[in-house]
Structure 1
Amino acid sequence: MGSLIYSMIVSLDGYVADDEGEFASWAQPDEQVLAAINDEMTSATTYLLGRRMYEMMAVWETDPEVIEQSPQSTQFAQIWQRADKVVYSRTLESVHTSRTQLRSHFDPEEVAQIKADATGDVTIDGPTLAAEAIRHGLVDRIDMLLCPVAVGGGLRFLPDHRLDLALRHEQKFDNGMIELRYDVLSA
Structure 2
Amino acid sequence: MAKLVCTGNISLDGYICDESGGFDWSAPDDEVHAFINDLERPIGTYLYGRRLYEVMAYWETAGEQPGLAPVAVDYAAVWRAADKIVYSATLDAATTARTRIERTFDPRAVRELKLTAERDVSIGGPTLTAHAFRAGLVDEVVLFISPVAVGGGTRFLPAGIRVELDLMRERRFGNGAVFLNYRVRR
Q: Distance in 1 between matches of 2:39 and 2:125?
A: 18
Q: Which 4+ runs in 1 deviate beyond 2 A?
A: 62-68
TM-superposed CA distance for 1:62, in Å, is 2.7
Q: Which residue of 1 aligns with 2:176?
A: 176
Q: Which residue of 1 aligns with 2:58?
A: 59
TM-superposed CA distance for 1:52, in Å, is 0.7
Q: Which residue of 1 aligns with 2:116?
A: 117
Contact map agreement 2:62 2:76 (CA 8 A) in 1: no
Contact map agreement 1:127 1:157 (CA 8 A) in 2: yes
TM-superposed CA distance for 1:92, in Å, is 0.3
Q: Distance in 1 between matches of 2:9 and 2:51?
A: 15
Q: Which residue of 1 aligns with 2:27?
A: 28
What's the % identity of the aligned pairs? Answer: 47
Q: How does 1:20-169 map to 2 (within 5 A)?
A: 20-24=20-24, 26-64=25-63, 69-159=68-158, 160-169=160-169
Q: Aligned-residue CA RMSD in angstroms?
A: 1.3
> Alpha carbons of 1:10 and 1:67: their partners in 2 closer, same or farther (altered >3 Å)?
farther
Normalization by structure 1: what TM-score? Answer: 0.95
Q: Which residue of 1 aligns with 2:3?
A: 3
TM-superposed CA distance for 1:65, in Å, is 5.9
Q: Distance in 2 between matches of 1:180 and 1:60?
A: 24
Of stretches 123-132 and 153-162 in structure 1, the one that deviates more from structure 2 is 153-162
Contact map agreement 2:63 2:77 (CA 8 A) in 1: no
> Alpha carbons of 1:42 and 1:91: their partners in 2 closer, same or farther (altered >3 Å)?
same
Q: Which residue of 2 aligns with 1:19?
A: 19
Q: Distance in 2 between matches of 1:150 and 1:66?
A: 32
1:74 counterpart SS class: helix
Counterpart residue identity of residue 112, structure 2? Q
Q: Distance in 1 between matches of 2:131 and 2:98?
A: 23
TM-superposed CA distance for 1:14, in Å, is 0.5
Q: Distance in 2 between matches of 1:135 and 1:176?
A: 32
Counterpart residue identity of residue 14, structure 1? G
Contact map agreement 1:66 1:73 (CA 8 A) in 2: no
Structure 2: runs of 5+ lacking an equivalent: none
> Alpha carbons of 1:18 and 1:181: their partners in 2 closer, same or farther (altered >3 Å)?
same
> Alpha carbons of 1:134 and 1:31: their partners in 2 closer, same or farther (altered >3 Å)?
same
> Alpha carbons of 1:30 and 1:161: their partners in 2 closer, same or farther (altered >3 Å)?
same
Of stretches 28-37 and 112-121 in structure 1, the one that deviates more from structure 2 is 112-121
2:26 counterpart SS class: coil
Contact map agreement 2:63 2:72 (CA 8 A) in 1: no
1:155 counterpart SS class: strand
Contact map agreement 1:67 1:73 (CA 8 A) in 2: no
Give aligned pairs, total. Answer: 185
